[in-house]
Structure 1
């Protein structure tokens, strides 16, 4: 972001107006009004916010309240390295604080935390404007547009990305102060803020970091905000704050980022190919939603969505939810950009030129494969290949609309807009007619939805006209004692505009009762039944798992809220070997999303038994999901409304003692699903490498009636599992939790080798006798060992 050019109005002028406190109070008051539908609990943010992030928050809060580490999650995917998951919320300060003070955060509490983060970003943007001496009414417009416009409004359910987005203005403002003042202290704060931004480890955080890099380059190369000291002087002046910032930023971010990179390397998506990313491109026609809110029916339940990528529009080869193509940010910023920025060429002004260039590059990035520029981004920008939706850049596009629109509003209020000639006026109104009339009519005719386009287009024209009137009146009030009225007029109009056009809708707000199953004290009968049954059967070696198949979008992660373990879950990331072993997809919210594969061909299979999958809840007869299951061994035991609950009587205990070992190639086993002939998972294990002294098939366990050994789960916590073993003969203890390098095993207090058994589980060889076997999770030591190992391999290579 650019800093003030020489000649910019000094910040002291803004201070002399005495408006700062009143303007901040105005923004905060309007924030309450705009956020009230959610923070009051009348509505709640749906979709990913509830299906994915609410369970993450509840797992974090519940773990902390029990005094447990939240670093490993046993409730999904047979175990998951939560500490490395970028969407776990473990490293988000606001959510950690909420989890510490509230062991069962409500929907409203979570929503309020998200909106409070946006308020911090909005006020940081206002301070940035004030530092530049830009009119405070313009700063208020930018702040409200930032917090309640663009993708921040339409994609509020993408909690992690919203939190990253909210951190950008704070980091930008602190970095600008650090560079302008050559300050070590501001540099430390800026670096820490940039580190918090990078903790998001999502595409918004990545683009935000590139924004900050561009801000530094613009300041050093072009003197923006650093004065005309010459390039050498500017470089020298920037070294102290940037060095301090680098130290602070790395201290905050290096460990979480390394953990996530290591997880990504062994996940189902170590990186995305160009076609995979391209399918997440924003269709260029969707850019019209910056001007006309809800043109395509994204938020109207009475209108069947007809914009790209719908069949009605003739575009179906991109994979985006309908709300991802909506980012209306307010009429005042759009009027300013169209009429002043483009119509009168003010986007070329030196003090905002960098932001204008960045906004254009953001458009190229967002539209992905519709622009040849994205190929360069994809091939040359580090980190881009980790993400599958360039359309996520609409968050940044909303940010630039707020900044550019706010700056141009300042120019209008400050009286520094040059008079418009005949050509400029023709260009201004020509642009307005194209985007407000010609384009929506053309799109409506193209999709045969002209009737549906009338209402949103007429609404946009009405608010466009209202913004023109508000800007004209505000300019007359902008100076002297009436300046507060200008703030109230523009901030109030912007808030009313956003309250109307970005109102709670089917993309952003649902009744809280919709998500009853995710409340810790739920009355949902299915959840209550499963919690009771899993508690009853959690004895001896058992800790039975559950599957929630096709119950609805918000169900798969319910185990994280209620403390029972599931075979699958909802997460775009999975450990690659676990996905190969179970056919795990992002989610199983719908029945047809429950897939099977060679390794897990049916609930009635070796893998189904090993996973200890005891209870299956489905909203359809189980045969429609798995026609191959054994109806004699998997039986229906309860029904609540449309939900049927089945019990798998072949499910094995979580902890097993076996005496025989077979050798097999795990990669081949995962590919073909062909276990060794006659393999019995209750009596033997498969290993890639047999331990010294163990022969293939050795120790057959004696007679069928003899019990070679017993295992009891003495303690089971997130990051510690203790087993008591009583073995009549030597053998192996198998724990059917996912094997991961960061787990360690101890046998009677001494380190023991943790073997990978049956392709994905943990096992330890034990001698005859009584023993205590303890598994503990060590992510930081494990990650350090991984890094050292990779560096050593790199040197050898």
Structure 2
């Protein structure tokens, strides 16, 4: 691929990518679901923190306090999102969606450069790049922003790694280290599997050729440079998240639970038939594996997670070549083929031995659920191998080409038979006929296109343009916006800072977030829509919950709530938080509730008058809890209690939280009568709370924010210990008199000290 061919290839790629991404970039649709309920609020919080001169490392806008810096979904360590936050204090949907497509474009560039380095056909490069950007799970799961970013960096890192190994270049080693750090900073399963696959490429490079020892020795220095740079850049976010994992509700996922997120072998048919199971057609009940027609499979997968379609052309080329020659095992492509097979075997989870071996033997695997996430890497490698197959089919002799086409037709008949057999067995033949027919039409059209390009023998650039045009038409039709990937922006209007939503306006006008008093209100938003619980991160009010599968273990045990509260059934209660009328609800300062159904439908223990109905808006029933306690209080006494028992049995009878704290240790102060004191919030930001306290007889100052080991406190400038009180809140021992108490967040120092303790160094 000459420079002219490279420039033309990139021009064709850019044109096709803009065409395929235009529905999102134009604002006609926006990436829905997790991208809006989880990642967009994180982006909005990050931008607002930077615009107001605050640190984004901690947020009080979710979970009664949350270490945002350690959350892999916070986007703090995503450089493209950090740049966007700096440029746009109030980001819009198109800008955030655009970051995802731009980063995928960087990955596509890495694929093109891999092809150029190997002098493979530019048409194959284009097919591979488009299949990666707009095919497979990068298309069907574009809503999972973090994993998309990790997958997007993988081809770029792979290209730089291959150059590092082949050229023994320190410059490329340094650049590879940066790319590897970008992957690792994603801190998700796609990032982890991607790093293992990169290590596999290194191993295969060492084993390739005659003198293995010489190859190993020659690579040590550049790999060392790459590794040092990657570690230096990624070690902080990785350690922070590792420490958070140990304190979270998900310190480890047991094998049986993780393996329930396996791809089913029948999911592989979506490589040929894009919507075989009705995953994106709202008029068709989803009938793929892990649905009712298949019976009990034991799988737990969202229906879009098994959409692997990357275009008919890549599949035809790969299958035809694989069935008629050993080309995919040639030295120039063998490592890609092996890595591709390893990725799909991992993604199939408990249906192959590989996942169990990896779970038991490889560090980090047990931290994640859903081996199906490896499909992100499988699709990237599939695109490269398929693009290489296009290259070979355009170069091999005529007889071999014909054999490949015949083999592809036979494989198509086998795929049709398997799809129809599955539909017959599950009683869904009628709804399966159309997607099978559409897929068959595109596969035949792909064969015809390949045949035409091969027979007419146009110039490499014209061949690339023709195949790119077919790919664009195919992916636009089969992987265009759908219920999982592109919905009207109006569905998420409440997430915009300038929203006209009356419920949001009422909540923002009702809460007291001011300083100069002891009160600071929290809100619960539940049972409305999927993205509503995270509104606090966008609008700056403190919502009790947010859409995030991670939360601190103490908070999860106290509240008893799972991943989300999008529907009423998901708003469960616990012994310590048995009702909206409970001591814990009051301690949390839960003053307002916006619920999509009447409160009595969620909380069966409520009695008339427990909550005051403020308004019935178009979206919600808005209530006030008049018993909500202040954010900061001076409590005269304390008693020891086993927090493990409290989580199991609930708040003890006869204990008034305004009169006594519950501590998991002997109270530092003697039990005696003390006069009441007062506390006033003078300053409250993301990472600092300054409180003026006046207690003639001393006592305990209680701050009803979640306790976390990275917070520090001072009294009149002198350091003091932060006690864990009432299972999950912060308290300090307050001497008699007037004092200024300052709570500050120190994630790096705190994490370092915590790490030393975990490693037994202190």
Identify the TM-score tier after normalising by the shorter chain.
Answer: over 0.9
1:425, 1:516 → 2: CA distance? 49
Give how far 1:642 is off: 4.8
1:46, 1:641 → 2: CA distance? 22
Moved more, 339-348 or 543-552: 339-348
Render the CA deviation track for 1:436-483: whole Å, top value 9, x for unaligned: x2011101101211111111111111111111122122234556xx22
* Residue equivalent to 1:32: 18
* Residue equivalent to 1:683: 659
Which residue of the other structure, out of 513, 523, 542, is the alignment partner of 1:565?
Answer: 542
* Residue equivalent to 2:364: 383
* Residue equivalent to 1:740: 708
The secondary structure found in structure 2 opposite 1:454 is helix
* Residue equivalent to 2:177: 191
Would the aligned equivalents of 1:114 and 1:159 in 2 still touch at CA under 8 Å? Answer: yes
Give how far 1:240 is off: 1.6
Would the aligned equivalents of 1:52 and 1:571 in 2 still touch at CA under 8 Å? Answer: yes
Give how far 1:313 is off: 2.6
Which residue of the other structure, out of 574, 583, 596, is the alignment partner of 1:606?
Answer: 583
Which residue of the other structure, out of 409, 417, 431, is the alignment partner of 1:429?
Answer: 409
* Residue equivalent to 1:175: 161
1:382, 1:151 → 2: CA distance? 25
Number of residues paired by the alignment? 762
* Residue equivalent to 2:717: 749
2:153 paired with 1:153: no
* Residue equivalent to 1:142: 128
1:464, 1:349 → 2: CA distance? 26
* Residue equivalent to 2:254: 273
Which residue of the other structure, out of 447, 451, 454, is the alignment partner of 1:475?
Answer: 454
Alpha-carbon spacing, 1:316–1:513, altered in 2? closer, same or farther (3 Å): farther
2:351, 2:294 → 1: CA distance? 16
Would the aligned equivalents of 2:640 and 2:667 in 1 still touch at CA under 8 Å? Answer: no
1:535, 1:31 → 2: CA distance? 47
Gaps of 5+ in 2: none
Moved more, 650-659 or 339-348: 339-348
* Residue equivalent to 1:460: 439
1:710, 1:477 → 2: CA distance? 87
The secondary structure found in structure 2 opposite 1:772 is strand
Give how far 1:354 is off: 2.0
Would the aligned equivalents of 1:366 and 1:393 in 2 still touch at CA under 8 Å? Answer: yes
2:405, 2:53 → 1: CA distance? 67
Scaled by the length of structure 2, the TM-score of the pair is 0.98
Give how far 1:634 is off: 1.4
Give how far 1:678 is off: 1.5
2:521 paired with 1:544: yes
Which residue of the other structure, out of 298, 301, 311, is the alignment partner of 1:317?
Answer: 298
Q: What are the equivalent positions in structure 2 for 1:680-759 lying under 5 Å apart?
A: 680-692=656-668, 694-695=669-670, 698-702=671-675, 708-759=676-727
Render the CA deviation track for 1:320-372: whole Å, top value 9, x for unaligned: 11001111001111001111123434322222222222222222211111223
Give how far 1:123 is off: 1.1
Which residue of the other structure, out of 745, 756, 759, is the alignment partner of 1:788?
Answer: 756
1:407, 1:471 → 2: CA distance? 14
Which residue of the other structure, out of 408, 418, 436, is the alignment partner of 1:439?
Answer: 418
2:345, 2:579 → 1: CA distance? 45
Render the CA deviation track for 1:541-568: whole Å, top value 9, x for unaligned: 0111000010111111110001011222
Render the CA deviation track for 1:117-157: whole Å, top value 9, x for unaligned: 00111011101111110011110110000000000000000
2:260 paired with 1:241: no
Render the CA deviation track for 1:595-616: whole Å, top value 9, x for unaligned: 0011111111111110000001
1:728, 1:90 → 2: CA distance? 44
After superposing on structure 2, the runs of 4+ consecutive aligned residues of structure 1 that deviate more than 4 Å are 424-428, 476-479, 536-539
The secondary structure found in structure 1 opposite 2:207 is helix
* Residue equivalent to 1:101: 87
* Residue equivalent to 1:448: 427
Which residue of the other structure, out of 2, 15, 22, is the alignment partner of 2:2?
Answer: 15
1:427, 1:493 → 2: CA distance? 21
2:467, 2:401 → 1: CA distance? 23
1:373, 1:575 → 2: CA distance? 32
Give how far 1:189 is off: 0.7
Alpha-carbon spacing, 1:129–1:315, altered in 2? closer, same or farther (3 Å): farther
1:417, 1:217 → 2: CA distance? 36
Q: What are the equivalent positions in structure 2 for 1:46-65 lying under 5 Å apart?
A: 46-65=32-51
The secondary structure found in structure 2 opposite 1:466 is helix
Would the aligned equivalents of 2:131 and 2:311 in 1 still touch at CA under 8 Å? Answer: yes
2:54, 2:598 → 1: CA distance? 38
* Residue equivalent to 1:635: 612
* Residue equivalent to 1:131: 117
1:710, 1:470 → 2: CA distance? 79
Give how far 1:683 is off: 2.1
The secondary structure found in structure 1 opposite 2:276 is coil
Would the aligned equivalents of 1:195 and 1:253 in 2 still touch at CA under 8 Å? Answer: yes
2:448, 2:562 → 1: CA distance? 52
Alpha-carbon spacing, 1:393–1:360, altered in 2? closer, same or farther (3 Å): same
Q: RMSD over aligned Cα, in angstroms?
A: 1.6
Would the aligned equivalents of 2:121 and 2:460 in 1 still touch at CA under 8 Å? Answer: no
1:290, 1:534 → 2: CA distance? 51
Would the aligned equivalents of 1:343 and 1:428 in 2 still touch at CA under 8 Å? Answer: no
Which residue of the other structure, out of 482, 495, 516, is the alignment partner of 2:493?
Answer: 516
2:105, 2:157 → 1: CA distance? 14
1:418, 1:324 → 2: CA distance? 39
Q: What are the equivalent positions in structure 2 for 1:585-604 lying under 5 Å apart?
A: 585-604=562-581
Render the CA deviation track for 1:145-184: whole Å, top value 9, x for unaligned: 0000000000000000000000001100011111111111
Would the aligned equivalents of 1:537 and 1:544 in 2 still touch at CA under 8 Å? Answer: no
Render the CA deviation track for 1:85-138: whole Å, top value 9, x for unaligned: 011100000000000000011011100110000011101110111111001111
* Residue equivalent to 2:327: 346
The secondary structure found in structure 2 opposite 1:763 is strand
* Residue equivalent to 2:376: 395
2:606, 2:263 → 1: CA distance? 42
Render the CA deviation track for 1:406-463: whole Å, top value 9, x for unaligned: 00101112236872797x776543322101x201110110121111111111111111
1:767, 1:420 → 2: CA distance? 87
1:642, 1:700 → 2: CA distance? 49
2:22, 2:106 → 1: CA distance? 17
